[in-house]
Amino acid sequence: MHCFRFPHSIKTSHTKMRNPSFFSSFFFLLLLSHKVTCDSHCDPIEASDVDRVQFAMNLEFLEAEFFLQGSLGQGLDSFAPYLAQGGPPPVGGAKANLDPVTYRIIEEFGYQEVGHLRAIYTRIGGIRRPLLNLSAQNFEAIFDQAVGHKLQPPFNPYRSTVNYLLASYLIPYVGLVGYVGTIPRLETYNSKSLVASLLGVESGQDAVLRTLLYARADEKVVPYNMTVADFTGRLSGLRNKLAMCGLKEGIMVPKELGAENRTTSNVLSAEVDSLSYSRTPPEMLRIIYGSGSEYKPGGFYPDGGNGRIAQSFLKKD
């Protein structure tokens, strides 16, 4: 478990930022992380390979439904309904107003997530699709929580390309860091090879999304008086606050946190040694539930996640 520590050499007066607005966003993120300590909330959990991989299906279902709905206006039930294992259809998803390039990317991501679900189902065994909340109102609540006030008009992820990319920033990254944390805990070759292959694609998806956002970092998100960098900084801060285990993301950083202390970009999410961050299942649940507690479902999962790991926390509530 890698806990964030403030670098001894941070000198904010000499750190060149790409955009002044990012300066406030980054230190908002740091202030949130400063309140976080690494304790038992951040310890790895004990679980079987099957349970660990099936836990990841909760995120794969979310990604599949969000990307398919956003690009095609249809979900998993239109492409591979058997993978849902009788789980309820998601609520609130919609086709997004995407530019042609982003549309093609998100469509590809959606099909990739169907493949991920099928690979797990075939090699490990599947779980029932949990109830998912993809509504604009759910994203509105998340973004309001991230920025610290009610946005007017309410944030709608399906309104534009940049809105959808910002909403996407919330999702694949959580699966990516979850897989990084899972692999060292796996025992069998079958599980390791499967998750390593899943991680490769998840990290690629996250890198593409972060690159698209970084290219727009200084762009104002209409009609708000905030840039893309502002929003990503606030969303990163919220994820770290909810997870309670340190600073683990951001598309822009001061040089003291950049690769070899030579860059302010963090297009590929990494810590000071350019290694991927990891998260445990409880950290992931705190984020995707939006409650800061693995025992209190909500957010994208109104009834909580499925599989033994997620259900074990709900039974303890």
DSSP line for 32-61:
HHHT---SGGGS-----HHHHHHHHHHHHH
The residue-averaged pLDDT of 245-264 equals 83
Q: Is the pLDDT of residue 106 over 70?
A: yes
What are the φ and ψ backbone dihedral angles of 159, each rounded to 5 degrees? -75, -35
pLDDT class for 246, splitting at 50, 70, 90? confident
Q: In 3D, which of 268, 157, 198, 164 has the Cα closest to residue 55?
A: 198
- The answer to whether the beta carbons of residues 122 and 190 sit under 8 Å apart is no
- The answer to whether the beta carbons of residues 35 and 174 sit under 8 Å apart is no
The span from the CA of 48 to the CA of 139, in Å, is: 33
The residue-averaged pLDDT of 213-222 equals 96
Q: Is the pLDDT of residue 305 over 70?
A: yes
For residue 17, the model assigns a pLDDT of 41
User: Is 288 a member of any domain?
Assistant: yes
The residue-averaged pLDDT of 293-313 equals 97
CA-to-CA dists, residue 195 to 76, 186, 198, 202, angstroms = 21, 9, 5, 10
The span from the CA of 157 to the CA of 140, in Å, is: 8
- The answer to whether the beta carbons of residues 130 and 65 sit under 8 Å apart is no
CA-to-CA dists, residue 248 to 70, 163, 279, 311, angstroms = 27, 22, 9, 26
Tens digit of each residue's pLDDT (9 = 90 or more) over 48-95 = 999 999 999 999 999 999 999 999 999 999 999 999 999 999 999 999
The span from the CA of 114 to the CA of 109, in Å, is: 9
- The answer to whether the beta carbons of residues 226 and 147 sit under 8 Å apart is yes
How many CB atoms are located within 10 Å of the residue 35 CB? 9
User: Is 146 a member of any domain?
Assistant: yes
pLDDT class for 316, splitting at 50, 70, 90? low
User: Is 2 a member of any domain?
Assistant: no
Q: What mean pLDDT value characterizes the chain? A: 88
- Whole-structure pTM value: 0.88
- The answer to whether the beta carbons of residues 215 and 315 sit under 8 Å apart is no
For residue 86, the model assigns a pLDDT of 97
pLDDT class for 186, splitting at 50, 70, 90? very high
Q: Is the pLDDT of residue 36 over 70?
A: no
Q: Which domain holds residue 48?
A: 12-316
Q: Look at 101-115, 173-187, 268-282, 289-303 and tell me which has the smallest mean pLDDT.
A: 268-282
For residue 266, the model assigns a pLDDT of 87
Specify burial of residue 293 (Cβ count, 10 A radius: 0-12, 13-18, 19+). Answer: middle
pLDDT class for 252, splitting at 50, 70, 90? confident
In 216-297, alpha helices (H):
228-243, 281-289
User: Is 187 a member of any domain?
Assistant: yes
Q: Is the pLDDT of residue 164 over 50?
A: yes
Look at the chain and report how many structural domains it folds into. 1
User: Is 280 a member of any domain?
Assistant: yes
User: Is 263 a member of any domain?
Assistant: yes
Q: Is the pLDDT of residue 27 over 70?
A: no
User: Is 56 a member of any domain?
Assistant: yes
For residue 2, the model assigns a pLDDT of 41
Q: Indicate the SS3 state at residue 181.
A: helix
For residue 39, the model assigns a pLDDT of 57
User: Is 1 a member of any domain?
Assistant: no
Q: Is the pLDDT of residue 5 over 70?
A: no
The tokens describing 304, both together, are 């909580």
Q: In 3D, which of 90, 136, 142, 117 has the Cα closest to residue 301?
A: 90
Q: Look at 28-32, 53-57, 137-141 and tell me which has the smallest mean pLDDT.
A: 28-32
